[in-house]
């Protein structure tokens, strides 16, 4: 749980090594973008509520089943952004 740490960027050096990470909570930070370099395919739950995210990338997360991005500043979601999240049950 990395909630409420005032991150503006995700600590990729740490997260990139956590290949078995299944759940990641990073709510109430100041994260500005989602970068796939810190997201592993084993991740099942990603919660990024109440951040400063504006851009939404195309995600390659085949096992993700819960994605929460409430109260961000997302301006646009690209077409087919979630195409490769076939197990997604909750958005």
Tokens of 81: 């952004």
Residue, of 63 and 15, whose pLDDT is higher: 63
Which pLDDT does position 34 carry in this prediction?
85
Which pLDDT does position 39 carry in this prediction?
78
Q: Where residue 77 sits, what CATH number does that domain have?
A: 3.80.10.10
Residue 57 CB contacts under 8 Å (≥ 6 apart), including other chains = 33, 34, 35, 36, 78, 81
3-class DSSP state for residue 17? coil
Residue 84 CB contacts under 8 Å (≥ 6 apart), including other chains = 58, 59, 60, 61, 62
Q: Which residues pair with 64 in a beta bridge?
A: none
pLDDT tens for 42-90 read 899 999 999 999 988 888 888 999 999 999 999 988 888 888 888 989 8
Cα(first)–Cα(last) distance of the chain, in Å?
A: 19
Contact 25, 4 (CB under 8 A): no
Domain range for 22 is 1-90
Q: How many domains does the chain have?
A: 1
């Amino acid at each position: 749980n990395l909630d409420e740490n005032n991150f503006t960027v995700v600590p990729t050096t740490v997260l990139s090594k956590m290949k078995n990470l299944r759940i990641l909570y990073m709510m109430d930070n100041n994260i500005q973008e989602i970068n796939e370099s810190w997201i592993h395919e084993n991740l099942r739950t990603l919660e990024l509520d109440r951040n400063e995210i504006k851009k939404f990338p195309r995600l390659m997360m085949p096992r993700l089943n819960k994605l929460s991005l409430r109260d961000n500043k997302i301006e646009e979601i690209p077409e087919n952004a979630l195409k490769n999240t076939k197990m997604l049950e909750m958005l």
